[in-house]
């Protein structure tokens, strides 16, 4: 995935640079163009054409009308609060946080959550940036945009921010934990560092999704696990050692996420394994929608808060 993201980034930088040079001025790009410029995976369920370049300006008056046919101009009234990224002297990318909010009006809630987690992963790869303040920036952003300034998809962003879990390293991992939660399984810890467990190189052993109290984990095996022999050997070493220490490790693949029946069967397997480990799972045969999941988890959090206060 990362190789294709890197290649896509190089290609889109070249394309954007050529268009900006034709315009005779630097251009700021948003929407899917911003995502590609910053090596973020594109949402799987988005009607926007990824081959179309999307520019951003703060008002209709400043849109690039001279580039009709080459770019799709957009107005983003909150542009002054963005921390935009300089790609080169001709090309700038909209702040990823603002890009996420900008995309909200064009994505279903589930894809918006997955995109948010992909952005957190991309920010974590930047040495000079931190994704840990994403929730704080979301709250500040919503506060700023209450009135008179607003944006389409604001309420969806609020809901999506509450559903996101930092730590997912691929969209499929995000899709997997959302699937499990929609069947009533509690939130896992993502990219969990197993205490006192490391490879021969000294690198810590991590699990894609884990419920440490019950020694249960889910690992997502993508294409790279089949094509990269070194990755496969490391995974085998990790899983064998952790299983010897009592961990139950369930493997997930694209086929587990392929259709409703396989998704429900996979969720039931995880739920049953957690129950054997001592967890209580209020399993749902029919998956909740993302909106239902948000309300469900909000109710659970409220109950815990009330019990803690007593």
Q: Where are the beta strands (DSSP E) in 68-188?
A: 71-75, 85-86, 91-93
Question: 190 has which bridge partners?
Answer: 209
The string of pLDDT tens digits covering residues 25-72 is 999 999 999 999 999 999 988 878 878 899 999 887 766 555 667 899
Contact between residue 63 and residue 57 where contact means Cβ atoms under 8 Å apart:
yes
Residue ranges of domains in the chain, CATH in brackets: 2-163 (no CATH), 171-302 (3.40.960)
pLDDT for position 78: 87
The string of pLDDT tens digits covering residues 241-283 is 999 999 999 999 888 888 889 999 999 999 999 999 999 999 9
Question: Which pTM was predicted?
Answer: 0.89
Burial of 82 (0-12, 13-18, 19+ CB in 10 A): buried
The string of pLDDT tens digits covering residues 138-154 is 666 666 555 555 788 88
User: Which tops the pLDDT comparison, 308 or 8?
Assistant: 8
User: Which tops the pLDDT comparison, 284 or 62?
Assistant: 284
Residue in the block written with tokens 């002297």: 89
Pairwise CA distance, residues 64 & 47, whole Å:
23
**DSSP of 158-215, one letter per residue?**
HHHHHH--TT--SHHHHHHHHHHHHTTPPPPEEEEEEEEEE-TTSPEEEEEEEEGGGT
Of 36, 183, 188, 168, nearest to 113 (Cα)? 168
Q: What is the mean pLDDT of residues 178-184?
A: 97
Pairwise CA distance, residues 10 & 52, whole Å:
16
Q: Which helix (H) or strand (E) holds 244?
A: helix 229-244
Q: Residue 301 above 90 pLDDT?
A: no
The residues near 281 (Cβ < 8 Å, ≥ 6 apart) are 184, 185, 186, 271, 274, 275
pLDDT for position 36: 96
pLDDT for position 45: 83
Q: Residue 300 above 60 pLDDT?
A: yes
pLDDT tier at 286, thresholds 50, 70, 90? very high
């Amino acid at each position: 995935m990362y190789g294709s993201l890197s290649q896509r980034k190089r290609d889109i930088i070249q394309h954007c640079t050529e268009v900006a040079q034709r315009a005779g001025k630097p251009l700021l790009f948003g929407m899917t163009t911003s995502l590609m410029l910053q090596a973020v995976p594109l949402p799987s369920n988005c009607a926007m054409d990824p081959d179309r370049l999307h520019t951003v300006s703060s008002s209709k008056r400043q849109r690039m009308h001279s580039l009709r046919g080459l770019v799709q101009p957009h107005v983003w009234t909150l542009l002054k609060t963005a921390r935009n990224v300089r790609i080169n002297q001709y090309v700038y990318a909209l702040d990823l946080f603002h890009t996420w909010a900008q995309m909200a009006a064009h994505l279903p809630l589930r894809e918006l959550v997955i995109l948010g987690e992909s952005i957190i992963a991309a920010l974590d790869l930047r040495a000079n940036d931190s994704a840990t303040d994403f929730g704080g920036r979301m709250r500040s952003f919503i506060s700023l945009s209450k009135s008179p300034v607003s944006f389409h998809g604001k309420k969806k962003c609020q809901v999506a921010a509450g559903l996101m879990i930092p730590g997912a390293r691929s969209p499929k991992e995000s899709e997997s934990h959302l699937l499990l939660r929609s069947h009533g399984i509690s939130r896992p810890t993502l990219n969990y560092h197993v205490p006192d467990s490391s490879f021969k190189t000294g690198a810590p052993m991590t699990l894609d999704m884990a419920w440490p109290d019950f020694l249960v984990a889910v690992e997502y095996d993508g294409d790279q696990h089949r094509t990269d022999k070194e990755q496969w050997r490391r995974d085998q070493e990790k899983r064998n050692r952790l299983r010897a220490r009592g961990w139950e490790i369930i493997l997930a693949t694209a086929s587990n996420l392929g259709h409703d029946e396989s998704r429900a069967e996979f969720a039931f397997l995880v739920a049953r394994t957690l129950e054997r480990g001592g967890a209580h799972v209020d399993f749902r045969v029919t998956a909740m929608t993302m909106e239902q999941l948000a309300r469900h988890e909000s109710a659970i959090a409220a109950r815990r808060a009330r019990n803690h206060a007593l």
